[in-house]
Structure 1
Amino acid sequence: MNPPDLGAADPAAFRALYLWADDPEHDFWPGPVQNDVRELIAAGPGRLDPGGLHHEVTEWAGTQTSRFRTRTGLPAIRRIVLNCAPLALKAGAWLQWLVGAGNADRQLSMHVLALYAEDIGVGRPGADRAAHFRRLMDDAGLAGRIVPEDRLADDRQIADRSFRLAALLLAASRYPAVFAPELLGADLCLRWVGVPPPLHAVRDGLDQHAATARTWTALDLAASADRSLAAVRTYLRDNPGDDRPWRAVRWTLDELRAWSDELYDLSGRALDPAFEMAELLRHRAREARAYHHDYRLEGRTLAEWFGTGADQMLGVLARSRLVRPGRPDASPLLRDLIGPGGPMFRVFSPEDLAVIRRWIASLGETATPDAAAPAPAARPVVSSAPELARAPEAAPEAAPATVREAYRRLLQRDDSPAVRGYALDYTRGWLERSRAGIGRMKSPPRQWEPGTLRRWLRDQHDRHDEQFRAGGSLAVPPRERVIDTFVQLAPLNLIDGGWLGGFTDHRHAVRDLGRVLFATYWDELGNGEQPLNHPLIYRDLMREMGLDLPPTASREFAEWPGFRDESFELPVYWLALSRFPRTFLPETLGLNLAMELSGVGGTYRRDRTALRTHGFSSRYADVHNTIDNVATGHSAWAVDAIDCHLAALAERSGSQAAADAWLRIRTGFRSLRPPARRAPAHAR
């Protein structure tokens, strides 16, 4: 899918942008889309002080809530739910790439990751905000409108405007280095709003037992507003004088105002049966024209009437013998043509039939003044910020020349053709090396069957324990060697969980398999708490060893002379693989199992002994030996993820597809320690 052209002034372009930005493996290069998003995220005039903005946002939300509570009819409620869907189904997704392996130990990242984890219901099936909104859609009889979810962008009962804010936030999220302050400000505004005001009409209008209190709590972003404000303040502490977060609050409010005004008018019009019927005719006209060349009304074929426009068609149909005004059950249209046994049976969905029935029943009634009211004028958005120059087209750049340079550039979530190409080549080369002679590898088992991995996992743990006990009499390495070992592991351990970075993407993180992998990543980074953050724990160990290393994502870190080049090879593989969470899903599952099992019961216990012998804290080794345990820890989660994936694949595509995936998973497992071979030229 090519990037959409937002410069063409086509409101429907935001539908295309919504789909394009939602796919985590699209090519998100600097260029036209980034430039267009930069120009469109422009705040109108008004106060930028936090207190004034907060008051303005909450006052607007309260006023709109009262306004929408007058929308009580089911057609209006359904229209509101549909038009809230583009944003509600992506709740929190605008934060998805703000945290990466290179900044995961920052206080700002901890705030952002905690917000995002709450939005996606980390690790709990059906607990993400999007799942709760899907249940609300089901309660409103709209669940089929998002199966598959990409179908949403083609739904013409959703206004173009309803995709605009969600699409721009999703697109901005793909360029975190450029739009981080804007994303933080937009997040704060949306959390100050809480529940989108139109949804209060839904809460009042639906059966009170249809949507649970838990669902409404999940849809309310206000509970996490304090943490969002803390994230903004942390950003401003590190970037004093930058007012972009506050401008983004105002821009988001401007967008919400324009969307809310349009939806209020649209939901009012939906209460007019003639509006809904005309809309139905308009949406079905193209396919209907092919089948109605013989039936004539008022001197023309129905096919010709369909070509004249919905309004004229509606009048002709109302005057025809097919309709008995005010009597839908007696109307031949419903009774003979569309009903069971009729030539048009099942052409219309139950929802369509309800629209036709309401329209016929209403014929002869006076339209409500509200429904006939003209649409409000579009709210102008005027930027008070200085004009931003359009970023030039990115000049072609060279691929990383060394593995150290690759490490630094792959730590950035913002992408480029050169870096992405390098990552794909590096991953393929590493996996090709890992596949060599894999048929001779006995572990994991050559064949997968349900239940085999759990038994194998326990056997591996026993083997690690035996090896540890057998080596109990071995001397602890000298202090200098212990320090050197842990120093050379720093490029790897300071990006702990980095192989799972692709599963921070909203599209993966809210799905059954992805949520398990995200929960593992979330654990590696301390569940939003800095004292539990593994990279920070490792930095503390480095300081105990007399080393205060530069920031992980800095050029100084990658070029630090105390590291050997080979210490970057495995970390670069992690980072390169994480760029393609869908393409290399089986390999990632295998690597994840290898990583989580690698030290449990053996290596971590040896590390603990060596560190304590020389007077260093063993906390890093201790915490991994516990959270990676084979009963309820990350190793067990890794096995569960593989079992779930292969079981679903076997059911969906057959046993051969599962066997092929299992071979790829074994390759991923082996990729933690592939056979020794001269590295390809691009990796040196």
Structure 2
Amino acid sequence: MTARAGFPLPDLTTSLPRLPFAADPETVTEAAALRTAEPGDIFHRLLRDQESPTTLLLARHVLAAFLPEPSEPSPSDAADVTDTADDIAERVGRVRGELAEDVGRLRDNAAETHEAVVRQRAPLALLGGCWLDTVSQPATQPSVVVNRLFGQHFRLLGAGQPERGQLRRRRRRLEDLGVYLPEIETADFLHRAEARPLTQWHACFHLALSRLPAAFLPEVVGVHFAMLALGVDDLLTGAPAALPEAELRETLAEYLEFTRSSPTGAEDRRRLLAAVTLVLRLEREHVAMLTEFAAWHAGLSPDARVAAIVARHAPFAGRQHRGVRIGRQRLTDWFAPSSGELDLPAFMREFRASPQLRPAADGSCRFLKSIKFGGPMFGIFDEREAAAFAAWAASVAAGDPPDPDLAPCTVGDGRAAVWSAALAGSAPQDIVTVPAAPTALDDDREFFHRLVNIEHHPHLLPHARERAEAGLAEAEELFVHGADGRHTDASWFDYTPESLLERVDRIYWDKLVDPYEPLTEIPDRDEVVFGQKTFALGSLIDGTWAYRIGNLGRRHREADTMLFSIYADEMGRGDLAKNHITIIHQVLASMSVHLPHIRQDAFLDQDELPDHLYGFSIHQISLALFPDSLYNEILGYNLGIEMFGLGRMRLHEIQKLRRHHFDISYEEAHLSIDNLSAGHARQSADIIVGHLDGVRRDAGPEAVQREWRRIWRGYASFAHFVEHELVQQIRTPQPATADLVI
């Protein structure tokens, strides 16, 4: 191996290398088959299945359908756009002005129509900013632009207080306008939002970008600026802008300035401009659809309003209606015809003439009574739908003629068909098929490098899962022997909140603080440098275990917010000077250790860091890739690594570094931020207690113990790497007593 020059700080990266997306044959086939799926199915796949290689490859197909391929020229309507931030902002501003007039007219509609429009827009409003979910990751940190974006992302999420975040503010605004929706990850979200196919396709684009932000960094910058600067959702609901336009423009200008010194700068600018152009097209397209939708909704007759409600509920009508007849057919047969399609106009004609709608002496009718409290259909229809039925019954009783045109809503379907065809025909040239069992897994350097660049190596996700599970299984041997650890105690104990906090306190005092005594002899320079090198690989991926915790769809637990806030602290909350990845590079540079970035091919050839330490970092990244299925283990691992930043080890390292005039900022940062009083160590314990308290309330005490075992093996998996001497001792056969020579 040969030494390579390190990458310079600050990291002015504007894009990562264009690499192929590698997948095994089964994944390639499965992802290709999904190209013809309905947009709602793709939406749910991208949102709810974030751990499979198929989802990453599907995201690539979706982006290919919406964005120009690398070999294609920029869209013709972007030809007048220059590459300065002011010019881009001016163009976006002009479109915002156009859309503001259209949105203003939408807001002038009657309350019921405005509510329907806002409901239709809700899937996009509640996705806002998702493209930044994992823009901060091992492959991209500590890029200056990534830190800028991450700082804004953290603020959009409420800076550790979700109720202050954009998502919750938008949800409250929707509710103020009468739109009540379940969480976006729920199975019936799109149904409850009554989302048209075009709305669903636009949402799929944003979700797809959120799955591959490192590979599409220029596009993320462009989409982020254009979406927030246009601010359609804020215009529609009358909410203030999420971020000041001046700040967004400053970030854009900074990025464009960096492209001028980048070898890929011209291409990066083209990609950014193409993304801006796409957003302008999509937002114009969607506002135009909302305008058409508002006109359709406002023009609905009472018959048409009821027909839409019937169509919406018909798929859920069960056998309980088999005794009810409308005309000559049972209700069950109307809603489950042999042809597979409900004849809505015929049903509405018969319903109008049915005894269920015949006015009674009190002015009501059998049907309206059935949907009120005490009736057999109470609770099926919400207040808005019940009001529509009442208005319709009154119009029928008044003798109003039936509506001859009950055609279903088709607003936006023409444009939706264009995107459907684009996805069906997408064939990205950068998708390559690789063997189902890669041959490079025995090489930890290569495996680590590919896990850092996981967006381009989805085929390795099953193998990362295997490595994580193997490390967790091996670590359980410390359930028996862990008390003998020097820095940790992973020995098993039955969980209670009190027992966990007692164990944490005991580890802190008995293992980390009380044994500390200042060093009387300081190792020589080479030994100190070598010691720092043994920690460096883990430090270069600081915070990685939690980088996917804050993704959209994973913010319903308080523990998610707390753990994501810890990750944000590790990344400096967008402040480059406080970013731990920046700091560790500065520390290494003070020792004349200059490393390539871990994402770069050159890192494979560096000869500064020992080979035998890659397993620890591979385990950490592997855990991070499965924030749903290995959530409990991540919570335990987080406790272990945050406590490790305290006490004897850190204080000794500071002594040694000071003696040789090396940078001590990384050690000092952890000694401070990880404190047991209120810092990450205490927060990590509180996260576990809070999470298990929720488990107890939702699933009972037996579930708590199952979850606890998984959490504690996550802690043990950290201890397993730290306590290598103890592990070696456990695995070394001890001589029998009879064989000892006295």
Q: Confirm or deny a common fold (TM above 0.5).
A: yes
User: Equivalent residue of 1:581, what SS?
Assistant: coil
Q: Which position in structure 2 is the counterpart of 1:681?
A: none
Preserved contact between residue 104 and residue 236 of structure 2 (Cα < 8 Å): no
Bigger drift between 486-495 and 453-462 goes to 453-462
Q: Which position in structure 1 is the counterpart of 2:518?
A: 472
Q: Which position in structure 2 is the counterpart of 1:117?
A: 154
Q: Which position in structure 2 is the counterpart of 1:45?
A: 77
User: Equivalent residue of 1:45, what SS?
Assistant: helix
Equivalence map 1:279-678=2 (5 Å): 279-288=308-317, 290=319, 295-296=324-325, 301-302=330-331, 309-323=343-357, 330-363=363-396, 378=414, 390-391=428-429, 393-397=431-435, 398=438, 399-442=440-483, 443=489, 446-464=493-511, 466-469=513-516, 471-509=517-555, 511-674=557-720, 676=724
Query: How many angstroms does 1:575 deviate by?
Result: 0.9
In the alignment, the residues of structure 2 paired with residue 235 and residue 275 of structure 1 have an alpha-carbon distance, to the nearest angstrom, of 56
Question: Cα distance 1:329–1:541, how it changes in 2: closer, same or farther (>3 A)?
Answer: farther
Higher RCO (CA-CA < 8 Å; seq separation 6+): 2
Which of 165, 168, 177 pairs up with 2:205?
Answer: 168
In the alignment, the residues of structure 2 paired with residue 517 and residue 255 of structure 1 have an alpha-carbon distance, to the nearest angstrom, of 34
Letter of the aligned partner of 1:285 in structure 2?
Answer: A
Letter of the aligned partner of 2:310 in structure 1?
Answer: L
User: Equivalent residue of 1:394, what SS?
Assistant: strand
Structural RMSD (CA): 3.4
Which of 27, 52, 61 pairs up with 1:35?
Answer: 61
Equivalence map 1:14-25=2 (5 Å): 14-23=39-48, 24-25=50-51
Question: Cα distance 1:287–1:555, how it changes in 2: closer, same or farther (>3 A)?
Answer: closer
Q: Deviations over 1:504-561 (max 9, x none)?
A: 4233356421111111111111111111111111111111111222122212223211
Q: Deviations over 1:269-299 (max 9, x none)?
A: 3343333211111123345484555555555
Letter of the aligned partner of 1:420 in structure 2?
Answer: L
Query: How many angstroms does 1:110 deviate by?
Result: 0.4
Query: How many angstroms does 1:428 deviate by?
Result: 1.6
Query: How many angstroms does 1:36 deviate by?
Result: 4.3
1:241 equivalenced with 2:287 (yes/no): no
Q: Which position in structure 2 is the counterpart of 1:209?
A: none
In the alignment, the residues of structure 1 paired with residue 361 and residue 501 of structure 2 have an alpha-carbon distance, to the nearest angstrom, of 61
Question: Cα distance 1:30–1:19, how it changes in 2: closer, same or farther (>3 A)?
Answer: closer
Query: How many angstroms does 1:627 deviate by?
Result: 0.4
Letter of the aligned partner of 2:39 in structure 1?
Answer: F
Q: Which position in structure 2 is the counterpart of 1:104?
A: 141
In the alignment, the residues of structure 2 paired with residue 289 and residue 586 of structure 1 have an alpha-carbon distance, to the nearest angstrom, of 39
Q: Which position in structure 1 is the counterpart of 2:85?
A: none
Question: Cα distance 1:505–1:296, how it changes in 2: closer, same or farther (>3 A)?
Answer: closer
User: Equivalent residue of 1:181, what SS?
Assistant: helix
In the alignment, the residues of structure 2 paired with residue 654 and residue 145 of structure 1 have an alpha-carbon distance, to the nearest angstrom, of 25
In the alignment, the residues of structure 1 paired with residue 443 and residue 481 of structure 2 have an alpha-carbon distance, to the nearest angstrom, of 33
Question: Cα distance 1:51–1:661, how it changes in 2: closer, same or farther (>3 A)?
Answer: closer
Letter of the aligned partner of 2:93 in structure 1?
Answer: H
Bigger drift between 452-461 and 396-405 goes to 452-461
1:67 equivalenced with 2:113 (yes/no): no
Which of 77, 87, 95 pairs up with 1:57?
Answer: 95
Preserved contact between residue 572 and residue 578 of structure 2 (Cα < 8 Å): yes
Question: Cα distance 1:389–1:22, how it changes in 2: closer, same or farther (>3 A)?
Answer: closer
In the alignment, the residues of structure 2 paired with residue 103 and residue 335 of structure 1 have an alpha-carbon distance, to the nearest angstrom, of 59
Preserved contact between residue 175 and residue 413 of structure 1 (Cα < 8 Å): no
Which of 254, 258, 261 pairs up with 2:285?
Answer: 258
- Please, which runs of 5 or more residues in structure 2 have no aligned partner? 1-26, 69-74, 83-87, 484-488, 729-742
In the alignment, the residues of structure 2 paired with residue 640 and residue 112 of structure 1 have an alpha-carbon distance, to the nearest angstrom, of 29
Query: How many angstroms does 1:160 deviate by?
Result: 1.5
Question: Cα distance 1:298–1:496, how it changes in 2: closer, same or farther (>3 A)?
Answer: closer
In the alignment, the residues of structure 1 paired with residue 177 and residue 361 of structure 2 have an alpha-carbon distance, to the nearest angstrom, of 23
Question: Cα distance 1:218–1:366, how it changes in 2: closer, same or farther (>3 A)?
Answer: farther
Equivalence map 1:142-221=2 (5 Å): 142-143=179-180, 145-146=182-183, 149-155=186-192, 157-196=194-233, 199-200=236-237, 203=238, 216-217=239-240
Query: How many angstroms does 1:579 deviate by?
Result: 0.9
In the alignment, the residues of structure 1 paired with residue 255 and residue 146 of structure 2 have an alpha-carbon distance, to the nearest angstrom, of 11
Question: Cα distance 1:479–1:299, how it changes in 2: closer, same or farther (>3 A)?
Answer: closer
Preserved contact between residue 99 and residue 287 of structure 2 (Cα < 8 Å): no
Query: How many angstroms does 1:35 deviate by?
Result: 3.0
In the alignment, the residues of structure 2 paired with residue 665 and residue 424 of structure 1 have an alpha-carbon distance, to the nearest angstrom, of 17
Which of 115, 124, 128 pairs up with 2:165?
Answer: 128
Question: Cα distance 1:497–1:303, how it changes in 2: closer, same or farther (>3 A)?
Answer: closer
Q: Normalization by structure 2: what TM-score?
A: 0.80
Preserved contact between residue 650 and residue 658 of structure 1 (Cα < 8 Å): yes
In the alignment, the residues of structure 2 paired with residue 636 and residue 379 of structure 1 have an alpha-carbon distance, to the nearest angstrom, of 52
Preserved contact between residue 525 and residue 532 of structure 1 (Cα < 8 Å): yes
Q: Deviations over 1:174-231 (max 9, x none)?
A: 223443322322221111112426723xx5xxxxxxxxxxxx3476785753355246
Question: Cα distance 1:297–1:377, how it changes in 2: closer, same or farther (>3 A)?
Answer: closer
Query: How many angstroms does 1:619 deviate by?
Result: 1.3
Q: Normalization by structure 1: what TM-score?
A: 0.86
Query: How many angstroms does 1:343 deviate by?
Result: 4.1
Query: How many angstroms does 1:645 deviate by?
Result: 1.1
Letter of the aligned partner of 1:448 in structure 2?
Answer: Y
Letter of the aligned partner of 1:633 in structure 2?
Answer: G
Query: How many angstroms does 1:248 deviate by?
Result: 1.1
Letter of the aligned partner of 2:134 in structure 1?
Answer: W
In the alignment, the residues of structure 2 paired with residue 252 and residue 138 of structure 1 have an alpha-carbon distance, to the nearest angstrom, of 27
Query: How many angstroms does 1:171 deviate by?
Result: 1.5
Letter of the aligned partner of 1:39 in structure 2?
Answer: A
Query: How many angstroms does 1:236 deviate by?
Result: 3.4
Question: Cα distance 1:139–1:329, how it changes in 2: closer, same or farther (>3 A)?
Answer: farther
Q: Which position in structure 2 is the counterpart of 1:207?
A: none
Query: How many angstroms does 1:249 deviate by?
Result: 1.2
Q: Deviations over 1:245-265 (max 9, x none)?
A: 111111112112222222222
Bigger drift between 292-301 and 612-621 goes to 292-301
In the alignment, the residues of structure 1 paired with residue 716 and residue 413 of structure 2 have an alpha-carbon distance, to the nearest angstrom, of 62
Preserved contact between residue 30 and residue 416 of structure 1 (Cα < 8 Å): no
Query: How many angstroms does 1:232 deviate by?
Result: 4.6
Question: Cα distance 1:131–1:362, how it changes in 2: closer, same or farther (>3 A)?
Answer: farther
Query: How many angstroms does 1:460 deviate by?
Result: 3.1
In the alignment, the residues of structure 1 paired with residue 468 and residue 413 of structure 2 have an alpha-carbon distance, to the nearest angstrom, of 53
Question: Cα distance 1:555–1:235, how it changes in 2: closer, same or farther (>3 A)?
Answer: same
Question: Cα distance 1:67–1:401, how it changes in 2: closer, same or farther (>3 A)?
Answer: same
